Amino acid sequence: MEETVSKNFIEQIIEKDLAEGHCTEVCTRFPPEPNGYLHIGHAKSILLNYGLAQEYHGKFNMRFDDTNPTKEKEEFVESIKEDIKWLGADWEDRLYFASDYFQKMYEAAVTLIKKGKAFVCDLSAEQIREYRGTLTEPGKDSPYRNRSVEENLDLFEKMKNGEFADGEKVLRAKIDMASPNINMRDPVIYRVAHISHHRTGDQWCIYPMYDFAHPLEDAFEGVTHSICTLEFEDHRPLYDWVVKEVGFACPPKQIEFAKLYLTNVVTGKRYIKKLVEEGIVDGWDDPRLVSIAALRRRGFTPESIKLFVDLCGVSKSNSSVDYAMLEYCIREDLKLRKPRMMAVLDPVKLIIDNYPEGQVEYFDVPNNLENEELGSRKVPFSRELYIEREDFMEEPPKKYFRLFPGNEVRLMNAYFVTCVDYKKDADGRITEIHCTYDPETRSGSGFTGRKVKGTIHWVSAAQSIPAQVRLYENIIDEEKGVYNEDGSLNLNPNSLTILENCRLEPAFAGVKAYDSFQFVRQGYFCVDAKDSRPDALVFNRIVSLKSSFKLPK
């Protein structure tokens, strides 16, 4: 029996439209404004739009909504393209810009004027607000609302030709100042702005407003389903009005879904911009952020983000998702795919007094005990090793099974060793631990003479590789929440810990940016793409090994 998969509400609408002949081929799009970096919430929209196009064998367009030149930069355009490619959404040859359509939008505005559906207004922005009314009171007509078609055409042409200053005149749609929906109260559809655009330069000094431009862009491109977040629900009547009045026979259909909210993260562009400008983070891709570039740099994978988006689902009601669920998804993705290797983050020297000086032997170590296909590697073992400082205690508490004077432990994949002595410096800090080993206990030799309770990891001192390791925590102080009463961010002072002189097994030689591994007992780590060099490796902790997070039933 085939399993029936229940369709989400967007799929149900699309299937009805296809069945009833409203469209023959599905076309979706992702339309970001190039005024910042994309974040995890955008990933949901990208994967949803692309996934629907794939599911119905349709098309997916990539379009930059670049109608506001005051905030847009080429840097943002390039970062957005890179993020979308990395997530695996393929726009093929359909990369568009709203600015490609400025001439057609101008002509659409002229069409509205000729139909008596738009007028040039001289009210200031403040006056327009005053005339607009409130949620309980209707607005008032502009004194310029009844200008003749000829006068409006002449004034709009002069606006385009640069004869008016910024803010001196606007073009407004003529709809209904008494509408219960404030968006329909003669909204502004064009403004004068003498500012260079990052693509069209000084060709235009009037720019369309988003609510006018956006539906037209969709219609010009043949988008069938304009899928956006819930805050645009109140704008849908205006969207529909524009495409209908301009005269599109098969207008796109706008459908809204709930945004993706993550607990205790910063997604607001102005907050991130502030963190970047104040040097609290080292750019929009700082691994403590949840921009897509930051998640990629930290070591998240496209597969983990797809899993996360799938688990969140598509709904009509806003809700928040625990950040721990995103961490669950990256653990699930990496646990069978990545080698488990030894890295000592806080090293202390361990010397095996009875091991032959100068001798090096190699142990065959499996790369991942849960996935034999990843094979094995040779790990060198010698008289002098490094182990984690926390794996030795002079006076251990009860149930401490690692190294302490007189105790025997297993060195992972190697021998049993017993602590016989240790040395300290003048400050009382342990500098050396001395052990003896039992040659009969060699790993893989079939030894069953006795058991030990503790197993610790290690690296051979002479062959180990130095590295810097960065441990990340949430940039927000989770106990206090994201914002202070004055609107500032509650920052966690321990959001980044940098560990110098960590020691890694030699198999890490030659790693490249974005390569990721499980460090035995420590977590999952990724080679930093910005700061790591072959002669000075830098790793970011993606996520710790364990979590109390359980998937909701």
Annotate 409-424 with three-state secondary structure.
EEECCCCEEEEEEEEE
Query: In this predicted structure, which of 101-105, 334-338, 344-348, 441-445 has the lowest mean pLDDT?
Result: 441-445
Q: Nearest Cα to 109, choosing from 182, 177, 195, 208?
A: 208
C-alpha triplet 96, 101, 102: angle, nearest 5°: 135
What are the C-alpha distances in Å from 220 to residues 215, 247, 274, 535? 9, 11, 37, 52
pLDDT of 514 above 90: yes
Helices (H) and strands (E) in the chain, counts: 12, 27
Higher pLDDT, 91 or 323: 91
Residue with tokens 């005149």: 169
pLDDT of residue 1: 46
Edge-first strand order for the sheet with 59-64 is 27-30, 59-64, 95-97
Residue-wise pLDDT for 17-54, tens only, equals 999 999 999 999 999 999 889 999 999 999 999 999 99
Q: What type of residue sits at position 65?
A: D
What are the C-alpha distances in Å from 271 to residues 36, 37, 267, 283? 11, 12, 8, 12
pLDDT of residue 269: 80
Residues 88, 84: Cα–Cα separation, whole Å: 6
- Which residues, 6 or more positions from 46, have their beta carbon under 8 angstroms from its beta carbon? 30, 38, 84, 87, 89
List, in sequence order, the alpha helices (H) in 278-322.
Answer: 292-298, 302-312
Q: How far is it between the farthest Cα atoms of the chain?
A: 102
Band (pLDDT 50/70/90 cuts) for residue 273 is: confident
- Give the single-character DSSP code of 205: S
Residue-wise pLDDT for 429-457, tens only, equals 999 999 999 999 998 888 888 899 999 99
Residues 102, 204: Cα–Cα separation, whole Å: 8
Q: How many other CB atoms are found less than 10 A from the CB of residue 512?
A: 9
Residues 242, 183: Cα–Cα separation, whole Å: 12
Percentage of the chain beyond pLDDT 70 is 98
DSSP lists the bridge partners of residue 417 as: 409, 437
Residue-wise pLDDT for 243-257, tens only, equals 999 999 889 999 999
**Is the Cβ–Cβ distance between 119 and 154 less than 8 Å?**
no
Q: Nearest Cα to 192, choosing from 155, 235, 245?
A: 155
DSSP output for 55-73: HTT-EEEEEE----TTT--
For 81-90, what is the mean pLDDT?
97
Residues 496, 475: Cα–Cα separation, whole Å: 8
Residues 100, 475: Cα–Cα separation, whole Å: 39
Q: How many other CB atoms are found less than 10 A from the CB of residue 425?
A: 9
The pTM of the full predicted model, rounded to 2 decimals, is: 0.90
DSSP output for 117-140: -EEEE---HHHHHHHH--SSS---
Residue-wise pLDDT for 179-228, tens only, equals 999 999 999 999 999 999 999 999 999 999 999 999 999 999 999 999 99
DSSP lists the bridge partners of residue 438 as: 416
**Is the Cβ–Cβ distance between 106 and 160 less than 8 Å?**
yes
pLDDT of residue 553: 65
